[in-house]
Structure 1
């Protein structure tokens, strides 16, 4: 069911799977409970590339050959989803641990994989389709969801799928955000973060195409009921996109491995990765291309980031910029508990924490939220607006934030020697010492870590090391 011989393993590195994942995400978001959980808690709007990377890593762990890794990842996912519950805008409850909801998420992945093959003109054989379905059933079982929430046979699955599409899916806010906001305002991945003009030009062309292809691939009964637009030529465009993606499978082996491509998207020119020098040269050429775009196209002018002196890698940023980039993790324009929970979730994911370290980090962030709410929520609505934050110009380095820094240090310091060594540092920051710490070549002390973390979080300063933790898209 798992490992290199599985149907999913072949699917994972198929370029068509990118289109399938987007389609599955839209179908998940159309479920009222999933849509509400995404709207309230997810970072997919403000940090989509980070969310994508974490999802791909999780799928690799769940479908890999190592059963121990799979069990640890299943336990981590269950702890994550146990923390996601509430009510939607219509006061309907949602719970990310609801087994029927979890079954629907798995169902969208399977059905989108089948549809992916069909739309690209290479439908799966019945035996392969049954094997893939069995693998997704095993995936759901590994998460602890009992048998019966996905139909036992493939024939029964299609009846269940059609019934859910026709009776339960809605035109949710999360679905509208994905289709009409996310693609049009998608932030650049780290690879292209220094090339705003080039990125804006590419996004202006690709965003509408991805949205149109995704809508055209959705089940027709749902498109009709949700009032989704029928764009002339959309079906032809959709099939062309899937066929073109399928042709990419014939590129030389290793060119389209999902893990390698994801790592490349997260590569920045100042990285210690050996490929960074080539990337820096490519960035220079792309900046010149960006200048040409500004001359010959009507795209709005995108400000190029100011060059920072090598001796001064940090610069002050405004309260509003800090609020948008760091504090408002969910991108809804307010600071509340889901934003701080998202910080704890991202750091726990990077460090691959088990219990009780994960809960200690969440609890530290919960105490910080209480401190922030008490100091900044002047109108008593239970959340902090950008205006409330900017007007107060607070010093955030209170006892609760200091506690967050200390707990994060302890979680990073795996061997407990009260210093963060090179390997531990790379696990948290995904880069090496010499790129981010002047004069440090062996360890990072507890006091220095706490001081730098507080300086970043309360001083609102750009930091080469700390920005990628919480501000990176």
Structure 2
């Protein structure tokens, strides 16, 4: 094996272990190699987006954007354990995405049932006295639209093969199944509908202390090994660069349009290309 290939495999293994955990290889084999019908084919828009390295940038943006809903953020802050076990939370989330995108219909539906059961137990009250429940269809829809908006925008900017307009609509429609299965209602199925739903939440969003603490944890004090800190910083900058302008002050994020259009975009392209190189089959 030549030195470059050896480095690629080591870097790829490190990234995969962080995202998938100790049981990652076994889960990968179960998800991809188990025989049975799939909900989405290999040529689907959801396959193209969810298998691309741009998901790393989109995932960070999704976390930042989702935190702006006070009720959703209160639930995450009190019940997810993201500070104590951030990698475990990432691994559970990435496994769920893989199961529902690439797994058999049986495995995907089982994963959805598990998450629904967890949601039923997540209830509480915000610091200002408002009750929340993770099973609330309105909150489930917010988490969903913030997530797919982030994945799609990251793929538009940094994906290896960005989708055309029909493909982008197809992605929104294909992701709607899981959102409905989790309990969301009035789920968008086109990009235009997605934009409308995103806009409808604006009046509910705010930069709470919990949201700003989460942003600091994600961007300033992440539990990332020293060897991965530089690429993680580039990836974080790329994620911030995709955040809407109106989100910056509530989360205390910088807004540097010229830098974001040049240096940040170039660094985002560099880091996603590097991840794509490292984790290719």
For 1:267, the equivalent position in structure 2 comes to none
Matches within 5 A, 1:226-305: 226-231=251-256, 233-248=259-274, 251=277, 255-256=278-279
Structure 1 residue ranges without an equivalent (≥5): 189-198, 261-473
Give the drift of 1:2.
Answer: 2.2
Tell which has more relative contact order, 1 or 2 (C-alpha 8 A, sep 6+).
Answer: 2
- Aligned counterparts of 1:13 and 1:5: Cα–Cα separation in 2: 11
Given that 2:234 and 2:268 are in contact with CA atoms closer than 8 Å, whether structure 1 keeps it comes out as no
For 2:56, the equivalent position in structure 1 comes to 18
From the superposition, tell whether residues 14 and 151 of structure 1 become closer, same or farther in structure 2 (CA, over 3 Å).
closer
The CA RMSD over aligned residues, in Å, is 2.6
For 1:39, the equivalent position in structure 2 comes to 77
Given that 1:37 and 1:84 are in contact with CA atoms closer than 8 Å, whether structure 2 keeps it comes out as yes
- Which of the residues 217, 223, 238 maps onto 1:187? 223
- Aligned counterparts of 2:124 and 2:272: Cα–Cα separation in 1: 40
For 1:219, the equivalent position in structure 2 comes to 244
- Aligned counterparts of 2:194 and 2:228: Cα–Cα separation in 1: 39
TM-score by length of 2: 0.75
- Which of the residues 192, 201, 206 maps onto 1:170? 206
Matched pairs, number: 241
From the superposition, tell whether residues 90 and 157 of structure 1 become closer, same or farther in structure 2 (CA, over 3 Å).
same
Give the drift of 1:182.
Answer: 3.6
Given that 1:21 and 1:109 are in contact with CA atoms closer than 8 Å, whether structure 2 keeps it comes out as yes
1:116 aligns with 2:154: yes
For 1:155, the equivalent position in structure 2 comes to 192
For 1:49, the equivalent position in structure 2 comes to 87
Give the drift of 1:235.
Answer: 4.1
Given that 1:116 and 1:242 are in contact with CA atoms closer than 8 Å, whether structure 2 keeps it comes out as no
- Aligned counterparts of 1:21 and 1:53: Cα–Cα separation in 2: 12
Structure number with bigger Rg: 1
- Deviation sequence 1:136-156 (CA, Å, 0-9, x none): 11121232434x2x2354323
Moved more, 241-250 or 10-19: 241-250
For 1:133, the equivalent position in structure 2 comes to 172
Matches within 5 A, 1:304-319: none
Give the drift of 1:12.
Answer: 2.5
Matches within 5 A, 1:331-410: none
From the superposition, tell whether residues 186 and 202 of structure 1 become closer, same or farther in structure 2 (CA, over 3 Å).
same
Given that 2:81 and 2:89 are in contact with CA atoms closer than 8 Å, whether structure 1 keeps it comes out as yes
Given that 1:3 and 1:65 are in contact with CA atoms closer than 8 Å, whether structure 2 keeps it comes out as no
Give the drift of 1:104.
Answer: 1.3
TM-score by length of 1: 0.46
SS of the equivalent of 1:94 reads strand
- Deviation sequence 1:51-101 (CA, Å, 0-9, x none): 111111111111234111122111100011111110111111111011111
- Aligned counterparts of 1:154 and 1:230: Cα–Cα separation in 2: 25
- Which of the residues 131, 136, 142 maps onto 2:181? 142
Give the drift of 1:36.
Answer: 0.3
- Aligned counterparts of 2:211 and 2:250: Cα–Cα separation in 1: 14
For 2:16, the equivalent position in structure 1 comes to none
